[in-house]
Amino acid sequence: MFLQRHDQIVSGIDWSRSSNKIVTVSHDRNSYVWTQEGQDWVPTLVILKLNRAALCVHWSPKENKFAVGSGAKSVSICYYEQENNWWISKVIRKKHESSVTSVAWHPNNIHLATTSTDGKCRVFSTIIKGVDTRGPQAGASVDWKFGEQIAQLDLSPTWAFGVRWSPSGKTLAYAGHSSMIYFVDDVEGSPAAQNLALRDLPLRDILFVSEKMAIGVGFDCNPLIFAADETGLWSFVRYLDERKVTPSTSKASQLSEALGKLYGQSRQGSSSDTVEPSKPRGGAHENCITCIVPLRKGSESIVKRFSTSGLDGKIVVWDLENHITIPK
């Protein structure tokens, strides 16, 4: 079945698991919410108010609104208006200096994190009167006004991608196009950041599978596993889709790894940044992995299975329990 409505590249799609709705965005500057009626999926137009391409989309945890990042240097927060039977939006403008590449909702359904090609990660309040209500998870979040910037992280000197919150919302992670991944604690208060330098190619997306473990995917065509120790220090664990290295290439790999560490340390100076080893090429994906999506059962807090999709046209389902022990 084809969902035919857009007339240009579909740049983002997300599914709301509880309400069983699909939202799509496109370079044609339009967005549609698709609702299943019998065997058909019926589209409802979303009023985005964009003059540039829509680039990414994500449903909020309560599924009562969704965020759309765009090439117009803005973010549209969309919600349903019952009276007119359509989805309308309030736009966060004049905060980004370039295109918005990814968006991620905090578990409180109010805070929204974004990354941009201006290299910055930002956190905004998206509270909308009549849509959001005060709850136990909201805390002081309801004191912020819509569109108010809560934090701005200037850690990456290059494009930023793949922002995600941990399940509790205490840790924020995103990737830089300079082969860096950033983990930030206490974003709303006094942010404490950890910068982790990768030996190979940059990441495009990140997924927290638990509070102390995350998976990164990108141009290396192979998911990377990161974990935090008891002190909260994040480090690279290994590649998920590992291949055995032949003896003839082991010495070359060791030399490459040593040079990579030397390069990373000289680039980052005496900071706490660490440099991760390289990996043999090849595996389930043959081109850049652009998206990673959790596959949960019921109300599971720990992600045991997830899927990845890439520019090779493949969708791969991964079972973490067959590869590694997941810390809580």
Task: Report, as an integer, the average pLDDT of 192-204.
Answer: 95
How high is the mean pLDDT of the chain? Answer: 87
Q: Is the pLDDT assigned to residue 269 strictly greater than 60?
A: no
Structure-block tokens of residue 235: 């480090």
The predicted structure's pLDDT at residue 245: 46
Which residues lie below 8 Å from residue 41, measured CB to CB, with a gap of 6+? Answer: 1, 3, 22, 34, 35
Which of 66, 30, 287, 69 has the alpha carbon at shortest distance from 161? 69
Residues 116-159: pLDDT tens digits? Answer: 999 999 999 999 998 988 665 555 555 789 999 999 999 999 99
pLDDT above 90: residue 282: no
- The per-residue pLDDT for range 89-106, each reduced to its tens digit, is 999 999 999 999 999 999
Residue 198 tokens, joined:
């990768």
Looking at residue 251, what is its pLDDT? 52
Cβ neighbours around 41 below 10 Å, total: 16
> Could you tell me whether strands 100-105 and 54-59 are parallel, antiparallel, or unpaired per DSSP bridges?
unpaired
Extract the tokens encoding 197: 């330098």
Question: What number is the average pLDDT over the span 249-253?
Answer: 51
Residue in 124, 216, 107 with CA at minimum distance from that of residue 169: 107
Q: Where are the domains of the chain?
A: 1-132+144-158
Give mean pLDDT, residues 300-319: 93
CB within 8 Å of 315: residues ≥ 6 apart: 307, 308, 309
Per-residue pLDDT reduced to its tens digit, 16-70: 999 999 999 999 999 999 999 999 999 999 999 999 999 999 999 999 999 999 9
Predicted local distance difference test score (pLDDT) of residue 98:
97
pLDDT exceeds cutoff 90 at 262:
no
Distance between CA 36 and CA 168 in Å, rounded? 32
Element (H, E) at 252: helix 247-268
* pLDDT interval class at 253 (50, 70, 90): low
Q: Quick one: pLDDT at residue 102?
A: 98
| pLDDT exceeds 80 at position 258 | no
The 3-state secondary structure of 23-39 reads EEEECCCCEEEEEEECC
Per the DSSP assignment, residues forming a β-bridge with 315 are: 309
Is residue 222's pLDDT more than 70? yes
215 beta partners:
207, 225
pLDDT at 229 over 80: yes
Which of 83, 80, 9 minimizes the C-alpha distance to 45? 80
pLDDT given for residue 189 in this prediction: 85
* pLDDT at residue number 140: 56
Contact assessment for residue 115 and residue 177, using Cβ atoms and an 8 Å cutoff:
no
* CA–CA gap between residue 248 and residue 261 (Å, rounded): 22
Given this model, what pLDDT does residue 249 score?
46
249 or 142: which leads in pLDDT: 142
Nearest to 197 by CA among 105, 248, 261, 280: 261
Q: Which fold has domain 1-132+144-158?
A: Methylamine Dehydrogenase; Chain H (2.130.10)
Helix (H, G, I), strand (E, B) or coil at 319: strand
Residue written as token pair 């805390």: 139
Residue 133: per-residue pLDDT: 80
What is the pLDDT, as a whole number, of residue 248?
Answer: 45
For 82, left (φ over 0), alpha (ψ -120 to 50), or beta? alpha
Per the CB < 8 A criterion, the answer to whether 87 and 79 are in contact is: yes
